[in-house]
Amino acid sequence: MAKPICFLFLLLLLRVSTSLAAPTPQPDSSLYDTFLNCLTQHTTNSSTPLSKILFPPSNPSFPTVLQNYIRNARFNTTSTRKPSLIVTPLEESHVQGAVICAKTVNTRLKIRSGGHDYEGISYTSNEPFIILDMFNLRAINVDVANEVATVQTGATLGEVYYRIWEKSKVHGFPAGVCPTVGVGGHFSGGGYGNMLRKFGLAVDNVVDARIVDVQGRIFDRKSMGEDLFWAINGGGGASFGVVVSYTIKLVPVPEIVTFFRVQKTLDEGQNVTEFVLQWQQVAPTIDERLFMRLLIQPGSSKVVKGGKTIRASVVALFLGGADELVSITGKEFPLLGLRKENCTEGSWIESVLWWDDDESLKNGAKPETLLNRNLNSASFLKRKSDYVQNVISKDGLEWIWKKVVEVGKIGFVFNPYGGKMAQIPSDATPFPHRAGNLFKIQYSVSWSDPSPAEALNITNLAKRLYSYMTPFVSKNPRSAFLNYRDLDIGINNFDSRSFQEGEVYGSKYFNKNFDRLVKIKTAVDPENFFRNEQSIPVLPSKA
Ligand SMILES: Cc1cc2nc3c(=O)[nH]c(=O)nc-3n(C[C@H](O)[C@H](O)[C@H](O)COP(=O)(O)OP(=O)(O)OC[C@H]3O[C@@H](n4cnc5c(N)ncnc54)[C@H](O)[C@@H]3O)c2cc1C
Ligand SMILES: *[C@@H]1O[C@H](CO)[C@@H](O)[C@H](O)[C@H]1NC(C)=O
Ligand SMILES: *[C@@H]1O[C@H](CO)[C@@H](O)[C@H](O)[C@H]1NC(C)=O
Ligand SMILES: *[C@@H]1O[C@H](CO)[C@@H](O)[C@H](O)[C@H]1NC(C)=O
Ligand SMILES: *[C@@H]1O[C@H](CO)[C@@H](O)[C@H](O)[C@H]1NC(C)=O
Ligand SMILES: *[C@@H]1O[C@H](CO)[C@@H](O)[C@H](O)[C@H]1NC(C)=O
């Protein structure tokens, strides 16, 4: 199947959330005028006329600017609530002014970097809002001698990887596998990629950051202090301020790495169950240079009764050569049946292109392709997540296969942990899912049919499969991954129950780290200006 890994399982529809389906506000010229006046007063040094960075709904470019970084067709409809204004800063001082002036016009600010949020919360809202769109702030400075890079949050991961590769063939960075994902949301949410077993998350390799706070002041790590710095490296940026840039530590990659894809099908006598059982035992414990993602998909079969089967595929990256890899998997994962001819050796940047699996990136695509900010297709997406802490038995797996076939449209992506992930304490960053987690499950469904009935059906099917998985996944709380945003697990309505609502999703995303996030939030933004459907709430006494 020729779909990008990012958009696997292309299937079907649309979730019409009542809170997000409000009418489009009328162009509000008084909001625009007040905002522009305010911005003029608060921006001392601007070589650009400030009107050039403001897009009210009446501006002919408004729909294009809005849609450029919408990455989920569910929130690209006429009924999706639109912003009253889009602000596209060209320099840090514009960001500072935008925060101050959004407060002046008493309107919520939604911050958007790459726009990949799975619930669209960077560009939709359940209350009137302004989008602060960071796409122009995307400078990347790579300092190979010191093995660091400073990246502005409007940059994409593809741009980061490309700029590192330009300067060094033996350095990389352990972040996500889709090149169009934005640095701002990805890093602040604790982004991970196919080197996490060796190097941990993106945020485990962040050494500094610049943030604009609720008063429009700008801080670096030293001046913001360790609490706030901790919070914006996994706790989600949008609860605390606008992250303008991160400084990251580059990691060493070998000149030659190896990647492969292997597929097993239940109806071809390939013992998918035995295979997945062995994968669970091996993938989180094997050599930490090896990351083996497992994809489970319902498929059609000509052989099996009912015409349904299960396909299991392993997609992998090894930070070393193919001979060594085949020897390791031969010993530890015999059911994989990996041979050298199943492997591709190449540079790290070639593995980045290969992993995306977008046809335009395959077959000798040039690294320059990573600079294309618009690779992805316009699918409808729904994702959910879970953590597995105990190996699922053979009986359990066989039961799950039946349910996957019954539900029919939802696939799983299993991402193995272990290695470096298990060595980092669970309170080192807000991201708590460290030692004790064997793998993360992503429930993945993408579709192209815009019919609202289909959408409702599909999102309901996803909930059903999630419910079937209850016995096999983490409990008390049932944990979830912030970057796989899922509003089904709780939503904040900013009413008198807002703290309790926040505790529901907050404890799932952050476990015991939630309490520290609440304290930091209450200290840095006591009025809860930086808020969204799943932001960190302030302590009730301060609300
Ligand atoms: C195709 C696809 C592939 C993905 N692959 C991976 C993967 O391999 N690994 C992984 O970990 N995740 C992955 N994700 C999830 C992704 O990391 C998150 O959706 C991430 O939040 C996206 O960042 P963004 O800047 O593109 O999103 P946005 O939608 O712009 O932002 C997401 C959230 O962060 C906030 N935010 C954005 N920028 C800032 C800022 N500068 N300051 C403060 N807050 C900010 C937004 O307000 C919003 O709440 C993928 C998502 C998609 C759609
Ligand atoms: C002033 O604006 C110019 C042009 O955008 C920029 O290069 C410079 O860094 C800015 N100076 C300050 C102090 O922000
Ligand atoms: C959003 O709609 C526009 C205009 O119809 C279209 O060009 C774009 O591809 C759509 N994007 C997504 C993610 O659906
Ligand atoms: C490995 O490659 C061989 C030869 O092309 C092929 O027959 C075999 O099915 C592949 N093995 C796997 C596990 O994909
Ligand atoms: C697969 O399972 C069947 C039935 O349990 C068994 O007979 C067969 O030997 C297994 N094949 C492999 C390659 O393990
Ligand atoms: C929803 O999906 C299921 C499974 O594909 C199907 O059996 C059912 O008819 C669908 N319902 C609607 C209303 O489309």
Which of these, 272, 222, 248, 203, lies nearest to 412 by C-alpha position?
A: 272
Query: Distances from the Cα of 281 to the Cαs of 132, 333, 393, 425, 439, in angstroms?
Result: 45, 9, 11, 22, 11
End-to-end CA distance of the chain: 50
* Choices 3.40.462.20, 3.40.50.300, 2.40.50.140, 3.20.20.140: CATH for 257-346+379-472: 3.40.462.20
The amino acid at residue 172 is G
Q: Which residues are catalytic?
A: 484
| Predicted local distance difference test score (pLDDT) of residue 359 | 60
| Predicted local distance difference test score (pLDDT) of residue 270 | 74
If you search the block for the tokens 């945003």, which residue do you land on? 485
| Predicted local distance difference test score (pLDDT) of residue 18 | 36
CA 375 to ligand 3 centroid distance, Å: 13
CA 46 to ligand 2 centroid distance, Å: 7
> Which atom in ligand 3 lies closest to the alpha carbon of residue 70?
13
Give the angle 87-21-482 at the CA atoms, nearest 5°. 70
CA 278 to chain CA centroid, Å, is 28
Rg (CA), the chain: 23
Closest ligand by atom to 342 CA: 4
If one counts every other C-beta atom within 10 angstroms of the C-beta of residue 29, the result is: 10
Give residue limits of the domains in the chain.
Answer: 1-136, 140-252, 257-346+379-472
CATH, range 1-136: 3.30.43.10
Check: CB of residue 134 under 8 Å from CB of residue 155. no
CA 70 to chain CA centroid, Å, is 14
Mutate to test the pocket of ligand 1, among 132, 160, 173, 186 (most ligand atoms within 8 A of CB): 186
DSSP E strands in 224-329: the ranges are: 242-249, 251-252, 257-265, 290-300, 308-318
Q: Which residues of 67-88 are buried (b: 16+ CB within 10 A; e: fewer)?
A: ebbbbbbbbbeeebbbbbbbbb
Averages of pLDDT over each 10 residues, the chain, 543 residues: 40 34 53 96 84 96 97 94 97 97 96 98 95 98 98 98 98 97 98 98 98 98 98 98 98 98 81 95 98 94 73 96 98 96 97 80 80 84 98 97 94 98 98 98 96 94 98 98 98 93 98 98 97 96 59
| Domain 1-136 shares a fold with domain 140-252 | no
If you search the block for the tokens 């593809």, which residue do you land on? 158
Q: Which helix (H) or strand (E) holds 446?
A: strand 439-447
Mutate to test the pocket of ligand 4, among 295, 313, 341, 344 (most ligand atoms within 8 A of CB): 341
DSSP β-bridge partners for residue 500? none
> Which atom in ligand 3 lies closest to the alpha carbon of residue 71?
13
DSSP β-bridge partners for residue 171? 252
| Predicted local distance difference test score (pLDDT) of residue 357 | 66
Q: Which helix (H) or strand (E) holds 212?
A: strand 206-212
How many Cα neighbours within 13 Å face the side chain of 33?
3
Which of these, 113, 187, 103, lies nearest to 149 by C-alpha position?
A: 187
If you search the block for the tokens 């076939």, which residue do you land on? 405
Rounded CA-CA distance 35/95 in Å is 13
Which of these, 172, 130, 180, lies nearest to 147 by C-alpha position?
A: 172
* Overall residue count recorded for the chain in this entry: 543
* Choices 3.40.228.10, 3.30.465.10, 3.40.50.9100, 3.40.50.10800: CATH for 140-252: 3.30.465.10
Which residues have CB under 6 Å of ligand 1? 6, 71, 110-118, 121-122, 134, 153, 176-178, 181-182, 184-186, 188-189, 191-193, 237-238, 242-243, 376, 483, 532
Residue nearest to atom 12 of ligand 5 (CA): 271
Q: Which helix (H) or strand (E) holds 30?
A: helix 29-42
> Which atom in ligand 5 lies closest to the alpha carbon of residue 269?
1
Check: CB of residue 97 under 8 Å from CB of residue 43. yes
